[in-house]
Structures are given as structure tokens and as C-alpha cells.
């Protein structure tokens, strides 16, 4: 079939499948490995997506106790003229050192996780369907125990550096530091049910996700 190789085409027999019991699938992997691209294919297949990045942003923007804690740790320099959070300024300060990044994560992650768990709980009540969690730190949070399947997206060090430089504006040094600050794929592999290797083009990645989805369907039905 040609269809899976075309950019916006999902074969109807794959897109039409809804498991009778709600399935929660985690997608994890290092920075720049391609998690969000994998989640995008699942979205086309009909899954609901919960993005760790998005929930993290919501928490920072909407939760007043988080903002207060951020100001206490990083100072008023993270605010704009209207005393609202300036995400760029926060990013600059918080990612200037590993120590600052850890401080940021310590403040945000408990709120992010409880928000995420709340959303999972709500979806579980719905019974039917698929929810995909796109988050780099699923294993570090210990969240994998609460999921039905965990998919690990892996990509070579060189490819990840290249993507981080091209698409996320990191310098070579920043990209290396960010990758090195995370756990290694060989540790992630201990927890993963499936591994998707993302070292070729996006069409190939999509083909692999569809292949995996077929396998998951046969398990779920
Ligand atoms: P992060 O942890 O930083 O959120 P991620 O694991 O979610 O990263 P993506 O956002 O999916 O990674 O991918 C990073 C960038 O690399 C994106 O711009 C994406 O389109 C691109 N990319 C991912 N995989 C490929 C690929 N196989 N070919 C070309 N570009 C790719």
C-alpha cells in the first residue's frame, strides 16, 4: 500500500480502531529524539495527546503558587513590565546552568505531575479510546507503572544534536549539555515495551509508528 508513505494519509483500517478499554500509552525518549513527531502520528490515528511540555507551560502560566516560588528562586527579573511572567527571561535564567534547571524542575514538576495524573484519571473514567503521553521524563517520574504501554523513541547522538541546532536554536555546546544531563537510552530501554529508532526521514518514522500501531491493535483487541 502506498498510502502510509504519503504525508497526510493514514490507512482507514488503522485510523478507525478504538479499543474498548481506555489505553494509556507513554512516549518517552531523550531531547530531540522525535517523541512529538511520533505523538503526531498517533494523533492522526485518533489518540488524544497529553504533552508534558504543554502541561508544564500551563502550570507556569496559570498556577500562582508556582509563579511565587519561581520569583522567590530566580528573582523579579523573570517578569515583564506588567509583572507577568516572561517565559523567555525565565528560560534564559533557568537554563543558564544545570543547577538552575534542577531548581526549575523541582518547582514545576510536582504540579505538572499531579495535573497529568488528574488528566489520566479523567480519561480512565471514559473507558474507550487511546491517550498518548508525550513526555521526556516518564521514567524519571516513575509514571511508567501507571501506563499500559511505554514506547521509547531513540535516535543517534549526532542526529539529535543536528535537530536541536536546526529546529530548537541550541548551540552545539548547549545541545550536548542538554543530552548529557538526561538519563541514557540503555537505562530507558529497561522500562520500555517498544523501541522506535528514528534515524531516517519522517516518512520512515511514520511507517514505523503505523507498524507498531498494528501490533498494538492486535494485542488490544
Ligand atoms: P524535545 O524533547 O526537545 O521536545 P522531541 O523528542 O519531542 O524533542 P521532536 O520535537 O519530535 O523531538 O523532534 C525535534 C525536531 O526534529 C522537530 O523539528 C522534528 O520535526 C525534527 N525531526 C524529528 N525526527 C525527524 C526525522 N526523522 N527527520 C527529520 N526531522 C525530524
pLDDT band at 114 (very low <50, low <70, confident <90, very high): very high
Would you identify the CATH topology of the domain 17-47+129-214? Rossmann fold (3.40.50)
Work out the number of other CB atoms within 10 angstroms of the CB of residue 143. Answer: 21
Which has more pLDDT, 8 or 121?
121
- Is domain 53-125 annotated with CATH 3.40.50.300? yes
Predicted model pTM = 0.90
Task: Give me 110's grid cell.
Answer: 510536582
Mutate to test the pocket of ligand 1, among 26, 36, 40 (most ligand atoms within 8 A of CB): 36
Residue in the block written with cell 552545539? 172
Cβ of residue 154 lying under 6 Å from some atom of ligand 1: no
Average pLDDT over residues 127-145: 94
Measure 34 CA to ligand 1 centroid, in angstroms.
4
| Residues 39 and 27: beta-carbon distance below 8 Å | yes
Query: Residue 196: what are its φ and ψ, rounded to 5°?
Result: -110, 125
Average pLDDT over residues 55-64: 90
Q: Residue whose CA is closest, atom 20 of ligand 1?
A: 37
pLDDT averaged over every residue in the chain = 90
Q: Which pLDDT does position 177 carry in this prediction?
A: 85
Which of 101, 112, 109 has the alpha carbon at shortest distance from 182? Answer: 101
Map out the domains of the chain as residue ranges: 17-47+129-214, 53-125
Measure 51 CA to ligand 1 centroid, in angstroms.
14
Task: Give me 5's grid cell.
Answer: 508513505
Amino acid at each position: 500500500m502506498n498510502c502510509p508513505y504519503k504525508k497526510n494519509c493514514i490507512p482507514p483500517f488503522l485510523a478507525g480502531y478504538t479499543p474498548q478499554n481506555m489505553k494509556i500509552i507513554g512516549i518517552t525518549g531523550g531531547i530531540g529524539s522525535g517523541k512529538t513527531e511520533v505523538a503526531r502520528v498517533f494523533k492522526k490515528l485518533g489518540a488524544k495527546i497529553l504533552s508534558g511540555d504543554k502541561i508544564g507551560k500551563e502550570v507556569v502560566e496559570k498556577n500562582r503558587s508556582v509563579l511565587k516560588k519561581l520569583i522567590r528562586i530566580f528573582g523579579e527579573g523573570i517578569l515583564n513590565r506588567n509583572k507577568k511572567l516572561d517565559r523567555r527571561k525565565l528560560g534564559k535564567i533557568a537554563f543558564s546552568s544545570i543547577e538552575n534547571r534542577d531548581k526549575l524542575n523541582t518547582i514545576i514538576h510536582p504540579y505538572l505531575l499531579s495535573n497529568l495524573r488528574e488528566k489520566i484519571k479523567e480519561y480512565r473514567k471514559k473507558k474507550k479510546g487511546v491517550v498518548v503521553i508525550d513526555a521526556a521524563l516518564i521514567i524519571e517520574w516513575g509514571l511508567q507503572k501507571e501506563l499500559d504501554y511505554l514506547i521509547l523513541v531513540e535516535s543517534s547522538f549526532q542526529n539529535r544534536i543536528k535537530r536541536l541546532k536546526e529546529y530548537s536554536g541550541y548551540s552545539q555546546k548547549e545541545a550536548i549539555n542538554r543530552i548529557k544531563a538526561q538519563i541514557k537510552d540503555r537505562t530507558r530501554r529497561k522500562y520500555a515495551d517498544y523501541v522506535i529508532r528514528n534515524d531516517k526521514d519522517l516518512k520512515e518514522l511514520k511507517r514505523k509508528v503505523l507498524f507498531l500501531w498494528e501490533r498494538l491493535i492486535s494485542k488490544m483487541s
